[in-house]
């Protein structure tokens, strides 16, 4: 594949970026029930519509980074915000992450004809493997989020009165214990080293 092909494709995608972003957002919205999708689309106030605005704010920068990688931290931050929401919503793992495959669909919907006309199918495949790599990264983030939920559940258990009835909450005792240990260590107590 000649280098020129991918550059030409990126040129086309960049030109059509606005429509692609819009199409992708629409496809993400469609993973929710219709009345919810409608609300996510319409309500523009960031605080009155946290999920809709998260999607809105993340989609553009993610696509920009795919087109021209610049700042991996920004890329990661937006991916994280998008996945963090879906990781606790009523989705199975595949449904939560399906939105990244939907991006491929969005791109084909918008530029598919032009790609065929100009013989850029191979370039598109190459670009799609960028999307695939992002999906793998998204999978990592999804797993981190799920593990975090379990960690929170575990910590919550430590604060449950019914676990340790008749005393102080375990999380406090653990923290207290660690603090004393640290202090003792700091004072070079040989028995603790």
* Largest CA-CA distance found in the chain, in angstroms, rounded: 77
Counting contacts by CB under 8 A, is residue 189 touching other proteins?
Answer: no
Segment interacting with other proteins (CB under 8 A) among 108-116, 121-129, 130-138, 165-173: 165-173
Query: Cβ(124)–Cβ(16) under 8 Å?
Result: no
Counting contacts by CB under 8 A, is residue 74 touching other proteins?
Answer: no
Counting contacts by CB under 8 A, is residue 84 touching other proteins?
Answer: yes
Choose, by CB under 8 A, the member of 20, 24, 40, 58 that binds other proteins: 40
Q: How far is the CB of 82 from other proteins (least distance, A)?
A: 13
Angle at 130 between CA 128 and CA 132, to 5 degrees: 75
Choose, by CB under 8 A, the member of 114, 121, 179, 189 that binds other proteins: 179
Choose, by CB under 8 A, the member of 14, 72, 114, 178 that binds other proteins: 178
Rounded CA gap, 82 and 53, in Å?
10
Query: Cβ(80)–Cβ(140) under 8 Å?
Result: no
Q: How far is the CB of 153 from other proteins (least distance, A)?
A: 5
Counting contacts by CB under 8 A, is residue 48 touching other proteins?
Answer: yes
Number of residues that bind other proteins (CB under 8 A): 56
Count CB atoms within 10 A of the CB of residue 55.
22
Rounded CA gap, 52 and 37, in Å?
8
Counting contacts by CB under 8 A, is residue 43 touching other proteins?
Answer: yes
Cα separation of the two ends of the chain:
62
């Amino acid at each position: 594949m000649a280098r020129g092909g991918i550059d030409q494709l990126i040129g086309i995608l960049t030109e059509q970026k606005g429509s692609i972003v819009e199409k992708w957002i629409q496809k993400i919205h469609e993973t929710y029930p219709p009345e919810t999708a409608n609300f996510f689309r319409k309500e523009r106030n960031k605080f009155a519509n946290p999920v809709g605005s998260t999607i809105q704010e993340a989609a553009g920068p993610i696509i920009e980074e795919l087109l021209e990688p610049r700042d991996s931290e920004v890329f990661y931050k937006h991916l994280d915000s998008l996945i963090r929401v879906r990781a606790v919503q009523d989705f199975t793992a595949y449904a939560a992450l399906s939105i990244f495959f939907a991006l491929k669909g969005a791109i084909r919907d918008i530029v598919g004809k032009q790609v065929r006309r100009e013989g850029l199918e191979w370039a598109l495949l190459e670009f799609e493997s960028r999307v695939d790599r992002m999906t793998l990264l998204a999978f990592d983030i999804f797993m981190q989020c799920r593990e975090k939920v379990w960690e929170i559940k575990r910590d919550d258990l430590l604060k449950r009165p019914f676990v340790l009835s008749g005393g102080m909450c375990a999380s406090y005792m653990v923290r207290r214990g660690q603090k004393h240990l640290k202090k003792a260590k700091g004072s070079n107590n040989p028995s603790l080293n």
